[in-house]
Structure 1
């Protein structure tokens, strides 16, 4: 199926569509500054990121270990264990192990537990000043912090591969002769810890983090499997088992094989079991609060698109960091996965990590009787003022999305069991510095964490650019490029919505099945550079009780139309407030006092053309906003031209206004 056929099928299946910016009119004039978008989409690929891409949260000191959380400081016991066949990577000569690690001079075995407790808990040059404590303080706005207490190291009673060759289906067949690969790391590690520190030691901590010598299999299976070796038969003995009768490869989770040495590593888990390459400690801590994974298998057919991708710590946003997902094998973990994405509005509201005053709760059903809601939403990682919104939730009494099949349509969101839409602003600051873009994140969410997407999922990001991103994932040893599958989480790198026309993204979204229309109206930054978006949402089934109206005043040109000028039109909302906003989960009256207007522009006069920087405008009742129309005249154009602007109420399309602006060459 071609991309275009597939995309059409997806849009028809979901009964949702994007609205394309209106075309300009007039004579042919080359691209000029008037074509520059208000809010251009400039997403960055993960593999191109470096630590220079980090931007601090304005006004924040979340990394300060002396800063006291307002609710709770999680006490985490860090228990370090190694094996007879696997020393701690960090104790070996610099870049001396088969994986090319460690990246620093070796640490004495006796100091390993303290090294990792400091690496994740105390700002330093090595961790670039960023810690797990900083992440939690930032994401909870100072409510929750983290502290690590080191224990060990302890020598495990069995070799690494006896624990590692049993956590993925089919691996036990690759267990060396004379060994039984059915060990569970946690009971053995905890027994050693209790024997050394006391039988009741675990009761002194909120969580136990078991750091084992070696690697998370998730961070090496691909890089030291199909990316390093052309076929499984080409894996050399140096990457094979100590048993010469076994193959040098082993099964792994997502694809049929990886090198035996990579497959013998343990897979990190929500039991807080992590290898030395793990940068996903924060992800695993979220699990302990009762939030599940939101990811999938992007490597095997039938492909299932990820739920929230790089925008969510519970999806593969846990892999965010310099260099992207293929740099997660580095020890210490200072590259890919070193700085996970922020928590979504869905997670923050479930966990109580955001104040109710920062969330506007809306009823889809009530919108039809109360009318359009317009609100400004501040970046989710910013420090909010008491009156700032950092998200909107539109509750669905019933998800009316038509059914689709996740096994035949890779972009299918699964069963129609979503409970609400969330809308939030993402800015590349703090933990979100290594997300790909700034913009508006729109998602459907479930209250339950069920497998109705073809995998365990609860948040489904609406992709503003659902077409294949058409990027290479990696290059095989023989030089063959392997493209990212349609299910790869990086397909959502360009998913955010942007304000204005010609941005490379979209400025509105319609879910016709659920009778909702979302608008991205404008973008602004405050004196500290914090990003906010003004957004609107309305029902397709009713405009509310407010009498709607609009007027336009003749436009004023900024100067000659060669090489370009701007006509500014005052637009006035002549409607009046009415109704009380009843039927919503909270009082939304303050957000019912605006309307949204659809704009179109044209120009008469040979050699002139116009560009609308924004096809939408918004004003509150009785107030005026300025609308700009860009105009340019080509060489040899007529001496004069006339720009005409038309504004139509989205709530009541019968309410329209037009005005003109006289321009000269």
Structure 2
């Protein structure tokens, strides 16, 4: 079965947060702090080389944003190289539901809007500007910026405002129209079967001409009120202890109906929250929506990759916070429980980037940026070692930003999604993908920097209990054990095993003692993945050196290794921060190309070997630590390998480190060297 190599070390940096309903004050201006690729390096030689310090969404603010060096994608003057999507933004309200943004600050039942009111006549332009033009109100970030960044300048968007128009039916006749709400929640004398898209378009065409739709690529229908997805929980089970506790103020205008109504994910929410419309891929969005970028993606022909995390049998999320097509569409300051604010400057205000699988499908990445391997070919060519740059970085001509490992078929044993919440569904995955995530640009509100390993399928089918096509490998699959929210009586409600935030700590990291893992083995599919090194360049951009090999074949190259003792002796103080012996490891093997059957010429990445390191120390009271237990070296090249020795005051006067290096391709090839350390 699949396994993580070492036992998980539960070093975590997170804050357990109460899911607050208090409005978050709007900040001004985009983040301008320098790019960081993780926490600052420690001063001790014993510090991990790549510690995992992930941040929970609830604690994030706009100060966590980091710009993409050289990107400046929000600049309206930057035009896309391939396509600018022309989006008609058509605004409509109801007799019983005025635009939230037109009301006095904090005056509606949901305590919105968060800013001074806007005249009704200006609503369409207000939202076109909010989503389309950098300003203090949107913190300098736009939907155009997102698409320019994710496509490396290929695709942009522009909004043209229309309206406002008054819909012919009350708001709840449009909102109570699915999952049985219309049968149990529709007031007497009404038929809750309204079609908002149809009615909005009829008003728009009557005002602008029957051919107005033909002038645009997409239509974004902004309706007065809220996306039910952003209020059902916060103004339902988080606000009221039971459904019987929902007061009349949150109930329907019909006194014969209960004050609650069924919601999509759970059995009940307040009637006022449940009567709101659910945003949809038809580009129908409420004023609280921050998921417009996600809905635009659907128009390119890509499905959702998300689950229902609230009902049993629980089924683990597919790609979670790392993917705009999953709950990464909820990324933004304050986390998912702040998606109800109007305007939508919290919660889902900045969705995650696109995964490699999505970029490949949508044509949003150059082939030169992707290395394509074959699992079957790795068996005959030997392992590959590739340096992969952050997926949101502006790529240089030779930068690789993703690795795709194709498989002729998925050999994973079948599992039961109804019995095992971590089951990835039917074994129909076609390929693995490797990419580097750095918290810059749209990925600023992902929880961590590190390596994303995922298995993917080409088809977008329901094989997981929901439509899924990307399954992120979780480096820390144990329950994250965090509170989701507190009920009104103070009872904590934990995040379920299916909650997307269970993947907050999913990324892999280089080195030992990181709190994560630096390798992963998929035994049924006969693949071994390595996270070998972490590099940050002068611009602060993060890259990882990654390796992958077939468990059953090392290829035709000759393998060998030699280790030389330090020529200059150890450095540092063993009774203080530690004394470091720096050995020299040399790949003494010889490369042989052999026959290749990879999808492309990948010979440049087949000229290295991966080595497993271990160390022991002789001497009473002495200990030795390896900053990394894995390294790689090209054929004929040498790399430094460090071992850190420590001693107490009562230890022997000296210790002797023995370092051993073993080839992963041919474990019979080993080498050792020693280093003496004195107090």
Shared topology, TM-score over 0.5? yes
Q: Tell me, yes or no, if the aligned pair for 1:439 and 1:497 is still in contact at 8 Å.
A: yes
Indicate if the aligned counterparts of 1:599 and 1:645 stay in contact, CA closer than 8 A: yes
Query: 2:119 and 2:671 mapped to 1: Cα distance?
Result: 76
Match of 1:19 in 2: 5
Write the distance in 2 (CA, Å) between the matches of 1:33 and 1:454: 47
* 1:93/1:105 contact within 8 Å kept: yes
Give the aligned partner of residue 463 of structure 1: 474
Displacement of 1:101 in angstroms is: 0.1
Match of residue 40 from structure 1: 51
CA-CA distance at 1:118 after TM superposition: 0.2
Is 2:556 the counterpart of 1:570? no
By how many angstroms is 1:561 displaced?
1.8
SS in 1 for 2:584: strand
Scaled by the length of structure 1, the TM-score of the pair is: 0.96
- 1:167 CA drift (Å): 2.6
Give SS of 2:372's match. strand
Cα distance, 1:172 vs. partner? 3.0
* Structure 2 runs not aligned, ≥5 long: 10-41
Do 2:388 and 2:400's aligned partners in 1 also have CA atoms closer than 8 Å? yes
- Deviation string for 1:293-315 (max 9, x for gaps)? 00000000000000000000000
Superposed counterparts of 1:457-496, under 5 Å = 457-496=468-507
Distance 2:81 2:132 in 1: 18
Alignment of structure 1 residues 79-98 onto 2, 5 Å: 79-98=90-109
Correspondence 1:334 to 2:345 = yes
Q: How do 1:497-508 and structure 2 match up within 5 A?
A: 497-508=508-519
2:245 to 228, 231, 234: 234
Say yes or no: does 1:662 pair with 2:676. Answer: yes
1:125-184 CA-to-partner distances (Å, cap 9, x unmatched) read: 000000000000000000000000000000000001001001333443210010000111
Cα displacement (A) at 1:22: 12
- In the aligned structure 2, how far is the partner of 1:644 from the partner of 1:330? 60
Alignment correspondent of 1:9 = none
What residue is the counterpart of 1:644 in the other structure? Answer: 658
CA contact (8 A) 2:8 2:516 kept: no
The residue number in structure 2 matching 1:288 is 299
The separation in 2 between residues aligned to 1:508 and 1:191, in whole angstroms, is 57
8 Å Cα contact 1:22/1:615 also seen in 2: no
Backbone CA RMSD of aligned residues: 1.2
Shift of 1:197: 0.6
Counterpart check, 1:370 vs 2:381: yes
Number of the residue aligned with 1:247: 258
Q: CA deviation at 1:18?
A: 1.1
Q: Determine whether 1:524 maps to 2:535.
A: yes
Helix, strand or coil at the partner of 1:644? strand
Q: Provide the secondary structure at the position in 2 that maps to 1:33.
A: coil
Contact 1:449-1:457 within 8 A present in 2 as well: yes
Q: Which among 583, 608, 622 is matched to residue 594 of structure 1?
A: 608
Once the two structures are TM-superposed, the CA of residue 581 in structure 1 deviates from its matched residue by: 5.5
**Equivalent residue number for residue 163 of structure 1:** 174
Distance, in Å, in 2 between the alignment partners of 1:62 and 1:33 is: 39
- Which of 263, 281, 286 is the aligned partner of 1:275? 286
Structure 1 residue 607 displacement after superposition = 1.3
Query: Alignment partner for residue 81 of structure 2, among 47, 70, 74?
Result: 70
SS in 1 for 2:478: coil
Which residue in the other structure is 1:380 paired with? 391
Q: TM-score, normalised by structure 2?
A: 0.94
Conserved 8 A contact 2:610-2:632:
yes
1:624 aligns with: 638
Q: Note if 1:51 corresponds to 2:37.
A: no
**Distance in 2 of aligned mates of 1:301 and 1:170:** 21
What is the SS of the residue equivalent to 2:443? helix
What is the distance in 2 between the residues matched to 1:264 and 1:248? 11
Could you tell me which runs of 5 or more consecutive residues in structure 1 were left unpaired when the two chains were aligned.
1-14, 24-30
Aligned length: 644
Check if 1:557 corresponds to 2:570: yes
Question: 1:35-80 CA distances to partner (integer Å, 9 max, x unpaired)?
Answer: 3100000000000000000000011110001111000000000000
Give the match for residue 4 of structure 1: none
Q: Is the 8 A contact 1:500 1:507 kept in 2?
A: yes
Aligned position for 2:147:
136
Which residue is 2:22 aligned to?
A: none
Task: Determine helix, strand or coil for the equivalent of 1:35.
Answer: coil
Structure 1 distance, partners of 2:297, 2:79, is 20
Contact kept, 8 Å, 1:320 with 1:337, in 2: the verdict is yes
